[in-house]
Amino acid sequence: MSANRFGWAQLSSHGWRVRLFLATLTTALMLSDDFVQQLFTSANLAQLEAEYLVTLWVINVLLWWTGKRWFANAVVGLFAAMQIVQLSHIAMTGTPLAPYDIGKLAATYNEIGLALSDSFIDHSYVMVSWALPWDLCVWVFNRYLTDTSRASWVPLLLVVLILGSKPERATRRDMIAFMPGPTRSSLHNSINSFSFYATRMLGRESELVAPSLLDYEVRPIIQPDAAPDNIVLIIADSLRPDRMQINGYHRATTPYLQSLATANELQFVQGLAASVATGASLPLLMNVVREPGHLSMLKNATANLFRRAKEAGYKTTWLSTQESKVLHGLGAQYIDTVRTLEDDLILIQRYGDDRLLHWLHEMQWGDKNFVVLLSRSVHSPYDDNYQHLGNASDWWPDDGNLPLEYRLNNAYDNALMNFDRLLKDKITSLKDTLPGKTVVILTSDHGQMLGESNRWGHNRLYPAVASVPIVVHQWYATRSYQRTYPLPDADVMSHYELGRWLLKLMQFELINPQYVPDIHYFQGEAIYQDNLYRRLIETESGVSFCQAGLVSDYVPHVCELALSDTINLP
Ligand SMILES: [Zn+2]
């Protein structure tokens, strides 16, 4: 096969350089709408991201290589069309477009048109931030891309393959994997959201008929003891309470926490996760939402912890070794400092949560701080989280020729022991650097199954997945403090109750007309759609699980008990 088949071979080295320059220019133009929008609004949080930048540059090189103007126009037109919707959505709602938003756009086309024309002056900059880069981009392609009949179809096919990989992936993954990351390039978010929408949702809209629930109210309160100066919420993804030494596990998986417990500085409570998956559990926890299908409380940030923390004068910080998309629905616009996987991709892949610690040392704290750390230390694959530390003698055996269940369970315990080591470093570092009184709370987004009854993972509404730890480290603790801010329930505490208690620490009272003590909810991962959920009933001896139901059939106070499903208290 002659090199000429690939189109660029006949180019002189000068021609090569010109096209690489043009490809770099159009890449920059495609990325620039976010930064133009950022001149006008703080709602757009996009940052540059090396890996994505390279991908987009490769697409642009291929577009220039095709020698087909119509094709370049089609791709740029597609990108631009998605971006006008995306940038308008960011301007109107403060958040990037999620797949389920696109369905609503089509359904409420008239309303949105009205809203846009109503506030056109306020949002007219959207047109500037969209039209300027994309018009220029179209112009550059049409001015300098010459149609060559000898051009090859290879680069064209490559572009189709790269762009087509997203919709293809959407057939295999759920919506959570396609959620936009508020700090990611909005074109990248658009490609994800539209791919998922086109593949999985278009033409089968089933608008959730949400149950009629009353909205919450949040009121400032004055308490006899001043608010803590710092509130640190550590969320360890997939952390199981029954594997923690402080909760009676026979292995020494949490020696540091054990030492705090021995010194009477820890309070351990059986927690109940809001949902089965990170992408659903965190929005429910951070927006302090209890009932399934309570979309208005999920979306309008009434009780959002970042928002209320800011109102109470806290500097807000989110540090996570997970992806930016996890931030979707958490109120990213209320967070002062955000660091995610994308900020430090290569080192996080290598050193895992050790990077979190590194970030902690670099932080500029405020006088008061609300800090949320999302850790991946005990997330699957477990051995990845401690591999970089080499073979320590105190690891439980986890090598490849051991039986799978045995190996994975050992790896989980090793990962937890490593997490405990990191926790010690983190808390020590925080103690040294944070001013004033600090409360540290440790919980998990959901539990994890490790082969019990042959069940693995966490995407099901099982008791083992609902079971999470809630650990409060009270180095602030004076007795009067504990009287002012007692944990709402010393036996079993839901994520919702934890959120309500955090609001109380920030001097707010959450009033929820639907609240019934000892009734909790555990939801599937599709919290923005018609979702499965289970009602949980707290008793003296533990927690009983009702049968699962659909949100569209939500009936308060009805429970058909699933007798074999319980969480027993010691
Ligand atoms: Zn998770």
Which of the residue ranges 115-119, 142-146, 435-439, 524-528 would you say has the lowest mean pLDDT? Answer: 115-119
Distance of alpha carbon 490 from alpha carbon 347, whole angstroms: 40
| pLDDT reported for residue 112 | 56
> Are 385 and 411 within 8 A, CB to CB?
no
Distance of alpha carbon 385 from alpha carbon 381, whole angstroms: 7
CA of 36 relative to ligand 1 center, distance in Å: 34
By C-alpha distance, which of 94, 18, 103 is closest to 61?
Answer: 18
Judged against a pLDDT cut of 50, whether residue 564 lies above it is answered with yes
Task: Report the mean per-residue pLDDT for the chain.
Answer: 87
CA of 31 relative to ligand 1 center, distance in Å: 30
Judged against a pLDDT cut of 80, whether residue 104 lies above it is answered with no
| pLDDT reported for residue 535 | 96
> Are 515 and 532 within 8 A, CB to CB?
no
Q: Which whole number is the average pLDDT over 187-215?
A: 82
Distance of alpha carbon 399 from alpha carbon 379, whole angstroms: 18
| pLDDT reported for residue 120 | 61
CA of 154 relative to ligand 1 center, distance in Å: 40
| pLDDT reported for residue 2 | 40
Segment 250-282, tens digit of pLDDT: 999 999 999 999 988 888 999 999 999 999 999
CA of 560 relative to ligand 1 center, distance in Å: 28
CA of 445 relative to ligand 1 center, distance in Å: 6
Distance of alpha carbon 184 from alpha carbon 189, whole angstroms: 7
| pLDDT reported for residue 116 | 59
CA of 322 relative to ligand 1 center, distance in Å: 10
Judged against a pLDDT cut of 70, whether residue 480 lies above it is answered with no
For 346, other C-beta atoms within 10 Å of its C-beta total 9
> Are 470 and 493 within 8 A, CB to CB?
yes
Segment 401-458, tens digit of pLDDT: 888 889 999 999 999 999 999 999 988 888 888 888 888 999 999 999 898 877 788 8
> Are 275 and 320 within 8 A, CB to CB?
no
CA of 374 relative to ligand 1 center, distance in Å: 9
| pLDDT reported for residue 483 | 62
Q: Which whole number is the average pLDDT over 364-377?
A: 95
Residues 6+ apart with CB under 8 A from 173: none
CA of 281 relative to ligand 1 center, distance in Å: 8
Judged against a pLDDT cut of 50, whether residue 310 lies above it is answered with yes
Judged against a pLDDT cut of 70, whether residue 108 lies above it is answered with no
Judged against a pLDDT cut of 80, whether residue 205 lies above it is answered with no
| Domain ranges, ordered by start, for the chain | 3-201, 218-510
CA of 328 relative to ligand 1 center, distance in Å: 14
CA of 481 relative to ligand 1 center, distance in Å: 32
| pLDDT reported for residue 209 | 67
Segment 54-89, tens digit of pLDDT: 999 999 999 998 888 999 999 999 999 999 999 988
Residues 6+ apart with CB under 8 A from 209: 552
CA of 279 relative to ligand 1 center, distance in Å: 7
Segment 453-478, tens digit of pLDDT: 777 888 789 999 999 999 998 755 45
Judged against a pLDDT cut of 60, whether residue 124 lies above it is answered with yes
> Are 260 and 245 within 8 A, CB to CB?
no
List the structure tokens of 284: 């429910």
Q: Which whole number is the average pLDDT over 295-304?
A: 94
CA of 179 relative to ligand 1 center, distance in Å: 15
CA of 222 relative to ligand 1 center, distance in Å: 35
Judged against a pLDDT cut of 60, whether residue 111 lies above it is answered with no
- 369-375 vs 315-320, strand pairing mode: parallel
Q: Which whole number is the average pLDDT over 316-324?
A: 93
> Are 358 and 217 within 8 A, CB to CB?
no
| pLDDT reported for residue 6 | 44
Write down the CATH superfamily of domain 218-510.
Alkaline Phosphatase, subunit A (3.40.720.10)
| pLDDT reported for residue 207 | 58
| pLDDT reported for residue 501 | 94
By C-alpha distance, which of 255, 248, 316 is closest to 286?
Answer: 316
Which of the residue ranges 92-101, 175-184, 361-370 would you say has the lowest mean pLDDT? Answer: 92-101
Residues 6+ apart with CB under 8 A from 355: 321, 344, 347, 348
Judged against a pLDDT cut of 60, whether residue 222 lies above it is answered with yes
Segment 520-542, tens digit of pLDDT: 999 998 888 888 899 999 998 89
